Structure 1
Amino acid sequence: MAAPQPPGSTPPAPASSTFGRALLWPVVAVALGFILIYNSIGAPAEGIPQARPVAAAPVPSRVVTPAPDLVLPRSAPKRIAITDIAVDAPFTALSIGASGELNAPPPDDKNLVGWFRGGATPGERGTSIVAGHVDTKTGPAVFLQLSELKPGSKVYIAREDGTIARFEVDSVETFSKAHFPNDRVYADTPSPQLRLITCGGNYDRKAKDYEDNVVVFAHLDAVKRA
């Protein structure tokens, strides 16, 4: 699926180093594809303990258990909360740049996640892609502890339409960027799915890139309505 820039807009410049191998996401509806490349900004922070952030993310007090075929209408995400790893962060929209690469979240904000606005929104039918840095030049970032999530962990995403979509983690896996399973991660799905992606594994200083990607696979399992 091609993801053209909005008319009259100028795509933000890609980050200076590679956050991931070129990843193909096939889209059934138009039988096309596009390239996703995530960028890791600079070298990882050294000597910084892998500690949880101080403030825990809030969660909704009441969640409605849905029918198995629950699907939400399109609505942009506003904020993500993952209590198990103390994530509470706003969203920024990501788009495909002129080079065919998905622009990474800005490197100057460590507590920010990006979602691909050309794909499904969280809770909408299909695969919604959310990316965040594990670290930046200034230290640990929002998805530092993403690999610590377990099956059954909950991810809450507040949407512009006033709903909070709750996703349940199915698996957390680490893939070599050299052999990334594009079809499995990015394939379109008949139900609302979520993929959280960040860098992982060893850092190759020569290549200025992490060797792996951490991917969280999750599905929509409940919604709280305002």
Structure 2
Amino acid sequence: MSTVTNAASQGTTPGGGTRTAVTAAALVGAIASGGYIAGLFLLSGLTSAEAQRAPITIAECLLAGAAYLVLATTLGGLAGAGRLPRWALTFAATGCGLIAIQAWSYGSIIPDLARLLPSQQYADLSDQLVLAQLVFVPMGVVCLAGFSTLAVIGWRRKAMSKGAGVLLILAGLASLLGPFPPVGLLGGLALAWAARSARPADTALPAGATRAHK
């Protein structure tokens, strides 16, 4: 009994810092993205340009971008102490990187355009769907594929909570909406849940022992 306990504790310790970093960054990304969504209602009295250049909006976008940048660089580390393969985590991390790029553009480039252009011209520019697709489509495709792949593999390997897997798939679907806040909110919650519920590879040992007795 003590041997199994010691092995489990040794297996979870190396990945403890990574799990904490992923969980914290994912929650920050979710909160910042949720704040942006809430601002659509709280700042409804402003024009689109005024709302986009509001200091709170800029701060939320930059915070979400920073959080997803951390996720893009740390998510692969979960492979060291769990059952999830590094390639699937890296695939999902690529989606996080694209979310970070879009969030940072929302907090820097777009507010600058909102300041420089007249309100009507800015509104006309934001309606140019062809231009928006150049930014939205890659993020949507990669996030849908990456998050869904991670969810399916995690489900089949029993590497994380089923609820986290379902939320990952929903996040992937939300990425197809275009702007980053929906996928930023759902993806952050899903990745935080996945990191906290990730089962270390060592937990497979007791199950193997049980099967041997049978």
**Would you call these one fold, judging by a TM-score over 0.5?**
no
Higher alpha-carbon Rg:
2
TM-score range, shorter chain: under 0.3
| Structure with the higher fraction of residues in helix conformation | 2
Answer 1 or 2: higher relative contact order, Cα 8 Å, separation at least 6.
2
Q: Give the TM-score taking structure 2 as reference length.
A: 0.26
